[in-house]
A and B are shown apart, each in its own frame.
Chain A
Amino acid sequence: MFRVLKEVFIAIPKGMFVVFKQMFHKPVTVDYPFVKPPMAPRYRGLHFLERYDDGSERCVCCGLCAASCPADAIYMEPAETERGERYAKIYEINELRCIFCGFCEEACPEEAIFLGKEYEFASSHRDNFIYTKDDLLVKWPRTKPSEVKFLRPMRRVAWQQSEEGRPQH
C-alpha cells in the first residue's frame, strides 16, 4: 500500500519533472533528412580522389593504397598517357568491403585519395557499391573549394633544372 502511494506521489512527479525539464532543452537529435548533423573534423566517410590545381589527376596508381588496405577493397590498373605519365586506367573501391580505416589515405604518397565526410551512399544494389574512378574523382572544374590542405599544392615539376644545364662539349 505504502509502495503504491510512493509510486504515485513521488515517482510520477519525478518522472514528469525530467520530461518537463527536457522540453525546454535544445533537442539532441536532428531532423535528419532536412537537417544534417555536424561531423567530427576527422570523420572518415566516402573516398574521393583529388586533383592538382591545374585539374590533372594526382593519382599515379602506385598501388600503395591497395597494398595497405586491410579489407582488400581497392583494385587498380595502371597505364601510360601519351606523354609517358603513369595514371590509373582503372581505379575501383568496393565500398561494401571497405572498413573506413583510412589506411589508404595514410599510405598515399601523392596526396590523391582522401576519406571525405560523405556518408549518404545507400543503394538497393550491391553492384552500385563498386565505386569507379568516375565516381571517386572530384569534379572539374570544382564546384566548391577543396576541403583538403595539401602539403604539395602545386603539380610537381620533376626537379629544378640544374644550374649548369647540360654538360659542355
Chain B
Amino acid sequence: MGDFNITVNGKTVPAVKGQTVLQAALAAGIDIPVFCWHPQLVPVGACRICLVEIEKFPKLQVACATPAADGMVVMTESPKVVKARQGVLEFILAHHPLDCPTCDKGGECDLQDVTFKYGLDYSRLQEPKHRNIVDENSTFDDLQIGPEIIRNQNRCIHCYRCTRIVDEACFEDDLGAYQRGYHTEILPPPHREIRNLYSGNVVEYCPVGALTNDDWRYKVRVWLTKQAKSVCTHCPDGCNLTHWTFHNKIFRATSRPNENIDRGFICDIGRYGYQQVASSDRLKQPMIKKNGELIEATWEEALNLIKTQVSELKSKLSGNAFFGLIGETSTNEEIYSFQRFLRRVIGTSHIDSRINRKRRLTFGEEVTSRAIAPDHVSYQDIDKADTFVVYASDLHSENPITALRIKRGVRYRDAKIIIINSRSTHLGVRTGATNLLHKPGTGLAVLTGIVDAAVSSTTFDKSAVGLSDQQISEFKQAHTELLLPKAAAMSGVGESDLRAVADSLVRSSNVVIFCGADFSRYPYRDEELLALDNLRRICKSAKLAVLPESSNSVGAELLGAYPNQYPGGKGSDAKSKFEDLWRGPLPDFSGKDMIGILEAINEDEIECGFIFNADPVRVFPDGNYADAVLEKLKLLVVVDSFMTETARLADVILPLSTFAETEGTRTNWEGRIQYTQSAIKPMFDSKPGCEILELLADRLGVSFGQGRPSEVYGELNKSLGDVLPVRYEMFKSEGAIYDRPKHQPKPGFNRVAYNAIPSDREYPNFLTVGNADHHRGPNTERNPSLLKFTGDPFVGLSEIDAKELMISDGDLVKVESRTGKVVGNARVIAELPGKVVFLPENFRELRPNLLMGLKEKFDHVKVTKM
C-alpha cells in the first residue's frame, strides 16, 4: 500500500511519496489524457492536456508534474477541467492539419482519441494554419530524417517526447528541436540522420503522426490488423513485442511494455527484425538432394527418404553414428523435443547447441560456470546497482535493452560504468564510462591487476569483504606474473587507471559485472571467469552475470541441448527418470560436443546428422573445416527456415517455420521464461519445429503424440518438476523464473593461469568479431530495413593501420590468415586500437569464420590492399 491516500474523483487512491498525481491516478485505473508524459521520462508539462482540478489550488494543475500530497482532493473530469482541455485542444488543433485519412497514425493517434473525447467539433480560429514547407513545389511536407523515419512537421504538437527519448533515455544526440513556437522543427543535426539503435521508439511514442515509419508507411490501417504477443528472438534480452498482422502477413512490430524487462523501449533490431519472416531466402518446400542438386519435394517424399536411410544406417551402426545440433534461437519446446528425439528415437547423446565456440568444452563446464556465478542477476539488480563492470562485451549492440537500463542508472542515479574491452564500444560514448582499452587477449592481466591494486591499497578494508591476510598473500604469490606493474605493461592500460578502477569498485556498495559474447569466444574463458570471480571478492556486494549469445541460450542449457545434461540441468543419475518419462531406453551418457562431433565425422565414426535451426558452416570458428567435414556425412538432415550455408550441404532439407509462426516459450538471460504467441500461420509449406520433430519420431517408430508446442510444454514442465505455469494462458508479464540450484562459493581467491600470446610476425593483426551497427547475429541481414542502416559489408581497420597500409575508406582489401582469406571493402573506424581488425559476423559475403583456425588460440590476420 502507499504512503498516504489522495482522493481522485471521490475515490480514495493510495500514493507513494514522490509519485505524481497522474501516476497515482493511472495506478488506480483512472484515466487522464496525456501527450508529453511518458513513464520513463522526467515530466515536462509541455502539452497541458492532463490538467486536473485540485482542491485549494486556485488554478488547474498539470497532473503529470504535480507531486501527490497527503489528503489531496483531485477531480479529473469536472466541468472546469473538461472546458480547459477543450481550450488546450483548440490551440493544439489550431495548427494541426486535418489529414487523418492519409496519416499513418490514424486509428491509434492519441490526439484523435482525446479530440474525440473532449474536443469541439468546430474551431473558432480563422487564421491560416502554419505550414512547414519542405519543398516549395509540393503540397506534401514529409521529410525523410532517417533511414526509417519520416517527419511531417505540420502534425507535430511539440510534446518533445521524441527528443527527450533520444537524449534522456538513449543518451544519443541525433534528434533535437530547433527554433521555437510554432516554428519549432524536429530535426537531426545538419548533414546527419537519426540512425541510433533505438530510433524506432520515437515513432512509436509520437502521440501524433508527425514521425512515421518508412516500414509501416501506407501499408495497412491499424484497425484492420490483429495483434500477437511475441518475444524478440534477436538477443537474449527477451523484450516483449507485439506483431501487427493482416491477411497472414506481419506489417510491423512494436514494443509491448513490460515493467520487468524492456519498459516500453525496444531496439531497431527487434523492431525491424520481423522482416526476415517474409524473406526471399525462406525455404518454401522440403528439398532432397539428387545427383548433387537440391530438388523440391513433398513432405511425404522427404520423410520417407529420411525413414529408409536412417533405418538402414541404424541397423548397421549404433545410435552413436548420429549427431544433432540445434540453434540457440529455437523455442524451449523445440529444444526439448529435439533432444528427446535424438536421445530416445535415434539413441545418441551427441547433442550440442554451442556451435560457435572454438574452445574444447570440458564436461560440466557450464555447470561449473554457474558454480562460479551463482547469482541470479535480473533487471531489477541493474536498477539497484551503482557501478557496472562490462567485460568483453559490446553491450550496446549485443544486449541493447540491458545497455539502456544501465544508461538509465547513469542518468538518474549517477551510476558508474567501467568497460574492460580490447575494442572501444558504443556504450562508453557520452555515458562518462571509464574505458580500460587493453591489448587483445590480455583481459586476464587487467582483471588481476585491478584485484591486486585493490588488495595492495592501504585503505582496503579486508574485513568488510571477508578476506584474510593469508588469502591475500596467497593471491599475490599465485599471480606473480600478473601483479600490478607487470599487468599494466602487459595489457597496455595505465597503472593509475587500474588503481582508480580498483578504488571505485571497492567503494561502490552494489556492483553488477557483465561479461558478454566476446568473452565466450575467448580461449581463456574459464580463467577469465575465475578472474572475474576474484574481482567480485573485492567488492562489498557484487553480482556476476554471464550474458549468453543467443535469444534462448539459457533455455538450451536448461533443457538438455548439451551432451552431458538432461532437461533441468540433470546429470547421468537422472537417466532412469527420463527413461520412465519417455517410455524407452536411453543411450549412455557419453555424448560429444561440437568439436568432438566434427572430429568424429572426420574419422568416419559419425555418419548421419540432424541440424535444427543452426548454421555451423557460417558460425563455427573454422568455416572451411566445418564445410569440409559436414560434406563427408552419408545423410545430413537440415531443418531450417532459410537457405543457409549448411542447408546447401544437406541431403534432405525440411522447411521450418520462423519465430513468428511458432508459439512457445523462450528463456532470456535472466532465466526468465516467457510465452510467445504465433503471429501468423506457417507460411509456404513450412511446419513448426515441434510438428516436424513429431513427424520424424513417428516415422522412425516412436510416437510421442506431441505435435503441438502446448503438448510438449506440458511434458517439459513435468520434467522440470512442475514449477512453471501449467498452461500457456497462465503466463503473466513477469514470466516464470526457473530457479537453478545455488552453489556456495569457496572462500578466498581463485588461481588464474595465464600464458602470454606469442606475437605473429607474418600475420601481425588480431581479428576481432562483433556486430555491425543495427545487426546482431547471422540472421539480421535478411531484414531490408536493417540493411539501410549499415550498408555494405566492411572490413574495419584502425586509423593507424589504415595509414600504415595506405588504405582509405572503401578500398578493396584482402584479409588473410593461415586458414583462409576474405575480400571486402575497408572502413576506417576511429575507435579501433592499432593492430586490430574488426569483422562483422552479420554478412554472408564476408564470413569471419573463414579466417579462424580451430587450432590457433587467437586469430592472427594480415591485411593487404588490392
Contact = CB atoms under 8 A, between A and B. Distances in A.
Interface string A70-91: 0000000111100111100000
Contacts, number: 65
B139 A157 contact: yes
Pick the most buried of B101, B141, B223: most chain A CB atoms within 10 A of its CB: B101
A85 B140 contact: yes
A92 to B, nearest CB: 13
Interface in A110-169: 110, 156-163, 166-167
A83 B223 CA distance: 26
B441 interface: no
Contacts of A64: 101
Given A63-B221, A63-B224, A78-B219, A158 B131 contact: yes
Contacts of B101: 60, 62, 64, 109-110
B43 interface: no
Nearest to B217: A80
B579 to A, nearest CB: 55
Contacts of A156: 139
Interface in B28-82: none
B480 interface: no
B141 A162 contact: no
A158 B97 contact: yes
Contacts of B223: 63, 67
B184 to A, nearest CB: 10
A105 B281 CA distance: 43
A110 B98 CA distance: 11
B221 A62 contact: yes
B130 interface: yes
A84 B97 contact: no
A72 to B, nearest CB: 11
Contact of B140 (A79, A110, A158, A160): A158
Nearest to A76: B221
B100 interface: yes
B128 interface: yes
User: How large, as a class, is the contact surface on chain A?
Assistant: 20 to 34
Given A60-B101, A109-B101, A159-B97, A78 B218 contact: yes
A52 to B, nearest CB: 13
Classify the secondary structure of A's interface with B: loop
Contacts of B97: 158-159
Contact of B131 (A61, A66, A162, A167): A162
A160 B128 contact: yes
Nearest to A160: B128
B221 A67 contact: yes
A67 B99 CA distance: 17
B296 to A, nearest CB: 30
B183 A84 contact: no
Contact of B100 (A62, A79, A80, A166): A62
A159 B221 CA distance: 25
B437 to A, nearest CB: 43
A159 B100 contact: no
Interface string B216-246: 0111110110000000000000000000000
Contacts of B106: 62
B133 A167 contact: no
Contact of A84 (B133, B138, B154, B179): B138
Nearest to B142: A84
B850 to A, nearest CB: 41
A102 B131 CA distance: 35
Given A63-B224, A86-B102, A159 B218 contact: no
B11 interface: no
A161 B133 contact: yes
Contact of A158 (B100, B141, B179, B217): B141
A129 to B, nearest CB: 21
In this complex, which of A62, A158, A159, A161 has the most chain B Cβ atoms within 10 angstroms of its Cβ? Answer: A159
B286 to A, nearest CB: 32
Contact of B128 (A85, A86, A159): A159
B462 interface: no
Contacts of A61: 218
Nearest to B179: A167
Contacts of B133: 161, 166
A28 to B, nearest CB: 45
A159 B138 contact: no
A158 B154 CA distance: 10
A48 B534 CA distance: 78
Contacts of B179: 167
A168 to B, nearest CB: 10
B486 interface: no
Contacts of A63: 221, 223-224
A162 B139 contact: no
A75 to B, nearest CB: 9
A163 B219 CA distance: 35
A83 B135 CA distance: 11
Contacts of A83: 138, 140
B360 interface: no
B129 interface: yes
B218 A162 contact: no
Contacts of B99: 158
A36 to B, nearest CB: 36
A54 B729 CA distance: 56
A78 B140 CA distance: 17
Interface in A46-68: 60-64, 66-67
A131 B713 CA distance: 48
Contacts of A110: 101
B154 A159 contact: yes
Contacts of B128: 159-163
B102 A62 contact: yes
Contacts of B217: 80
Nearest to A158: B139
B100 A109 contact: yes
A166 B179 CA distance: 11
B140 A167 contact: no
A159 B183 contact: no
A59 to B, nearest CB: 9
Contacts of A66: 221, 224
Nearest to A163: B128
Contacts of B140: 83-85, 158
Given A63-B221, A80-B218, A161 B131 contact: yes
Contacts of A77: 220
A78 B100 CA distance: 14
Residue of A109, A156, A167 with highest tally of chain B CB at under 10 A? A167
B131 to A, nearest CB: 4
A79 B102 CA distance: 11
Contacts of A161: 128, 131, 133
A109 B217 CA distance: 20
A57 to B, nearest CB: 13
Interface string B141-163: 11000000000001000000000
A73 to B, nearest CB: 14
Nearest to B136: A161
Interface in A16-44: none
A69 to B, nearest CB: 12
A63 B102 CA distance: 9
A163 B97 CA distance: 17
A28 B63 CA distance: 70
Contacts of B129: 159-160, 162
A85 B139 CA distance: 9
25 contacts: A60-B101, A61-B218, A62-B106, A62-B221, A63-B223, A63-B224, A67-B224, A77-B220, A78-B218, A78-B219, A79-B218, A84-B142, A86-B102, A86-B218, A156-B139, A157-B139, A158-B97, A158-B131, A158-B141, A159-B97, A159-B154, A161-B131, A161-B133, A162-B128, A167-B183
Given A159-B130, A161-B128, 16 more contacts: A61-B218, A62-B102, A63-B221, A67-B223, A67-B224, A78-B219, A80-B218, A83-B138, A85-B140, A86-B218, A158-B140, A159-B97, A159-B129, A160-B128, A162-B129, A167-B183
Which 4 A-B residue pairings sit nearest by Cβ, starting from the closest? Answer: A62-B101, A63-B221, A158-B139, A160-B128
